[in-house]
Structure 1
């Protein structure tokens, strides 16, 4: 075959079916007997695409484990009472341009980002405040958003009281109270308990509000390495640490069952806990859980504890009366800990077939 002529037309890069066409060449060839054929050469460079459609509307609900107190800087427009920070997994996800379409003039349907998670929230707060057309520090509920995330339940079970009795309970008088509180959790997460009823009611209402779109429930982390004995930097007994970790797993299991029954996604707890290995209290690595347990106590409390292994009567009274000011991030993930949540959530979203 001999070519009677050749022409080449180079086009500027264009997009076609998710790929980037770098160049387009059209070359006519003479095939003999008066016939000719046009050969088209296309140089294609594949453009990476996420496995899910972009999230245009995202609503974050729940408690402090979603708000992220102590994990970063407060969000500028946010009321300080909720403790929402830019280090939270919620805000890290929102900043991910591969997943979330930001509100710009070039976007036909602008993103709606409702960050309603608030420190101290219980299940009924999420329903009555975060899922209503509420005023500050909340924004109106978004019906049919592309994605909802939620952590809730810990405050229903008395998280604050447990921290006071079992963490600050290094003072002997509080050991009994710690055990009583932990024993009570067994009954509170049982079938037909008030806790189970409140979780079920919240999830049912959220399923209706989500209108069939994705809801992801995230579990709580276990706080301790409970395989080592008591020693320097490990102020709680091994028995107490094991019980606290077991209670967290028990609560997560109840939340997981309720979520799956309603068609929600539940973040992989095994992967979450494994990622924190080496970064819990009593581990030798950098903590990814905030540990300023002496914040709010009288001056010199930590020094006295390190020297004498006890707290002053003034400190014990403050703990008992609940008058001390806890570090708001105490026993919550650091920014690094929230990054674990964010990465696992992104992995879940990329591996889930969605039709947004």
Structure 2
């Protein structure tokens, strides 16, 4: 019974299909600061929308705004909402969302959004399977889970799905809207020998994450979006480092494992801030 409960909790927030797109009403909990008056010269805050999976929702960041998608007050979208030039008006990002669920999220975002961020793709390549079979409950299925994810990431079908998300955002929003695709951090710190002392498969999963990010970046650039690579931003802060920005499976609630901490999401926000917006 205990093992069953743990597996259910792991599946809950590591990305099974049980979580579909956020409903518009639940997305409203993320409405951040109130509308500000126009700034001198007539300029106002840019309307901002955030879609995607658990990394976009802020799982691991704590201070959750809901229990359906586990959007966090410390997520990178909410941290960006604090900026003087942005106002978060749509936040349907949801735990477990693949490219399919993210497409459904897009239908709920404001059509007048000038900035849209998205992190998506990890669930398509089996993030939860790899985390479960390689780290949470290591099994003989670890390598096959990694190989299956790698095959999906290398496929044209996956590229088409990511491209479809970006195209749908462009169709939904105004022509001059800035679409920013944020990639994934490397979850594990490797020592000088290239290994993680706690997790056997850490180096291979890191390597496959680099491949996944490269594919997503290629698609993003090819569709006119801006890609934000956070690998360097998290360097030295993976699980096993002296200052980890990733929640370790061994020490906390199952539901937040292998996701950034609030500090990690601050690094995400800072990386996205470097992108010029309209």
TM range (shorter): 0.7 to 0.9
- Residue 234 (structure 1) aligned to one of 172, 197, 205: 197
Deviation at 1:56, TM superposition (A): 2.9
Higher normalized helix content (fraction of residues): 2
Deviation track 1:185-204 (CA, whole Å, cap 9, x = no partner) reads 232122423x2232222222
Contact kept? 2:47, 2:114, Cα under 8 Å: yes
Give the 3-state SS of the residue equivalent to 2:232 in structure 1: helix
Q: Does 1:346 align with 2:264?
A: no
Alignment of 1:10-29 (within 5 A): none
With normalisation by structure 1, the TM-score equals 0.62
Contact kept? 2:48, 2:88, Cα under 8 Å: yes
Higher normalized strand content (fraction of residues): 1
Alignment of 1:1-356 (within 5 A): 54-75=44-65, 79-97=66-84, 99-100=85-86, 113-128=89-104, 130-132=105-107, 140-170=108-138, 174=139, 176-193=140-157, 195-212=158-175, 213-228=177-192, 234-237=197-200, 240-267=201-228, 269=229, 272-283=230-241, 285-293=242-250, 327-349=254-276, 354=278
**Aligned mates of 1:230, 1:168 — CA distance in 2:** 21
**Aligned mates of 1:224, 1:247 — CA distance in 2:** 12
1:198/1:274 CA distance change after superposition, 3 Å: closer
Q: 5+ residue gaps in structure 2?
A: 1-39
Give the 3-state SS of the residue equivalent to 2:231 in structure 1: helix
With normalisation by structure 2, the TM-score equals 0.78
Deviation track 1:54-97 (CA, whole Å, cap 9, x = no partner) reads 5331110001101112313123xxx3111111111110100122
Deviation at 1:141, TM superposition (A): 2.2
Higher relative contact order (CA 8 A, sep 6+): 2
**Aligned mates of 1:182, 1:68 — CA distance in 2:** 24
Report the equivalent of 1:26: none
Deviation at 1:230, TM superposition (A): 9.3
**Aligned mates of 1:257, 1:209 — CA distance in 2:** 22
Give the 3-state SS of the residue equivalent to 1:116 in structure 2: coil
Give the 3-state SS of the residue equivalent to 1:60 in structure 2: strand
Pairwise CA RMSD: 2.2
Deviation at 1:210, TM superposition (A): 2.4
